[in-house]
Amino acid sequence: MENRVDINDEEEVLHIVMFPWLAMGHLISFLHLSTTLATKGHRISFISTAGNLRRLHQIPPRLSPLITFIPFPAIPNLPPNTESSMDAPHHQAQLLKIPFDFLKQPLLDFLEKISPNPDWIIYDYASDWLPGLAAEMSVSCAFFSLFNVATMVFFGPPAKVLSGDCVRSSAEDFTVVPKWVKMESKIVYRVHELTKYMEGSEGNQSGHEREEL
């Protein structure tokens, strides 16, 4: 027997906008979170490009009134049907910053049409410009990390990352325990584990500066 979608009259029904990064692992994880929130009775607007939305699995029929998929158009000047990381070789992954950064204006247009404003926007790691946009719209926002705590600690505390105090530019930089990890640890990368990542993360193919959080 299926679980009922129910919410007490005394509880607040929220309208939550989901804005995941252009990778199927991220899209699927955001969809799982969406279905969990919808089960609690909250309304979800799930945003991505049309091609990515077509790839997602079907949601339970009982939740369909609460989850609305909002398709944004694919951005031109990319190879045909390139809308997620699975569509591009890893060394061209930076190209996806182009459509993702250009989704800022369609997202703003979407938010301006909603009345009243959504209660929350839940965003992914790549949309560093979104908190500023949400502030302009007076909408609360929250970062949904797909990385576990150990991974985030290894990459560095936010204050150090933003200040440039933990810049690491080569694969070898990740093969030692970070200086901010004071406890004894043997958790480090091997060079071969970073090679593919470094090839796909060099440079900024979006063609403009990315804003800080």
Catalytic residues: 26, 124
Taking CA 111 as the corner, what is the angle to CA 25 and CA 84, rounded to the nearest 5 degrees?
A: 25
Strand 67-72's sheet: what is its strand order?
Answer: 67-72, 43-49, 15-19, 120-123, 140-143
Q: Which residues contact 105 (CB under 8 A, 6 or more apart)?
A: none
- Dist. CA 112–CA 57, nearest whole Å: 29
- Dist. CA 90–CA 85, nearest whole Å: 8
CA Rg value for the chain:
19
